[in-house]
Amino acid sequence: MQLYNKLSAKERAELIDNAKENRLTLSFYQYAKIGNPEVFRNHLFINWNTLDVLGRVYIAHEGINGQLSVPADRFNEFKIHLDNISFLKGIRLNIAIEQDNRSFLKLKVKVRNKIVADGLNDHTFDVTDIGVHVDAQKFNRLIEDQKTVLVDMRNHYESEIGHFKNAIRPDVDTFRDSLDIIEDDLKEHKTDRNLVMYCTGGIRCEKASAYFKHKGFKNVYQLEGGIIEYTRQIKSEGLENKFLGQNFVFDDRRAERISPDIIANCHQCGNPFDSHTNCANESCHLLFIQCGACKKTMENCCSDDCKTINRLPNPEQKALRKGKGNSNKIFKKGRSPHLPFKKD
């Protein structure tokens, strides 16, 4: 019985290309009380592996969070399997705006302490006691209300390339960093303002809405389905799009274009640009914004030092990395001091 992925990313990519079949990139989440996450994890892997499902899935006692790539012709089988799981029956699936057959190249199903790391140790906090879900139409009305405070619950590198007009965008590296900042900044408005939040697909807002209700906020709302579902609705219903730029996504595409606006700049030359890349140096892999011209000049690297290392033969690069953990730059997402036009 296979419980883990056995193919490399390269092998899987070749299989996908040779199959010449379309795949769907999608995401979903559900907060629920899962008694034995490990047993549930194995059940999902066994069933999804037979359906050729790929992606990244986190399971915890508090629920499930998944970003997946599913063969288009097996989508109905996948949906039937979800519907046979009581707390996933009828769950909303956020289908990606832009499709890429190579969005995921492995199936990784992992058990975690939480599906969204929040840094909280408050056991009186009920993650299922959430705020009010609003669709795109009501969201557009709410954010025009002078009594509304609109908050982006994503990290700085996500909101840098795209966000809603007039949104408060906490300058944070992680979700856990944003909770206390937002509560402190808005503590005088717990009862007299509408707290409206959004994120990529809804999962962070869901937890944040429950947390802020727990902290005494009275009028708490979240954009249902996040930016992904908002985009689908404005297109299908002909609504005004109030989102500027690109929506950062956590797969190999890295972003989906929502509006033609380019609101960010290349971190190396400063020219308008809004697509991220990972530094080609295997010991760095810093995520940063790099335009086409700089990509060519810098050979996909974030610095001259990384470019020098990346030119070395692979055995020499491996020798340099031996015994060392990943550089802290990896987790700073575009904040390295050698990037002159990074977001401060």
So which residues are the catalytic ones? 199
d(CA 188, CA 1): 56
Locate 258 and state its tokens.
């929502």
Following DSSP, what letter does each residue of 110-138 receive, concatenated?
A: EE-S-SS------TT--TTS--EEE-HHH
Q: Beta partners for 278?
A: 287
Pairing state between β 148-152 and 194-198: parallel
d(CA 160, CA 321): 31
CA distances (Å), 14 to each of 19, 105, 151, 256, 293, in order?
8, 10, 42, 24, 30
Q: Is 106:32 a contact under the CB 8 Å cutoff? A: no
Angle at 132 between CA 129 and CA 133, to 5 degrees: 115
Locate 307 and state its tokens.
């470019």
φ, ψ of residue 68 in degrees (nearest 5): -135, 160
Q: Is 69:250 a contact under the CB 8 Å cutoff? A: no
29 three-class SS: strand
Q: Is 157:276 a contact under the CB 8 Å cutoff? A: yes
User: CB count, 10 Å around CB of 71?
Assistant: 19
99 three-class SS: coil
Which value, in Å, is the radius of gyration of the alpha carbons in the chain? 21
Helices (H), the chain: 9-19, 37-50, 75-83, 136-142, 156-159, 175-185, 203-214, 226-237, 292-298, 304-310, 314-321
DSSP code for 54: E
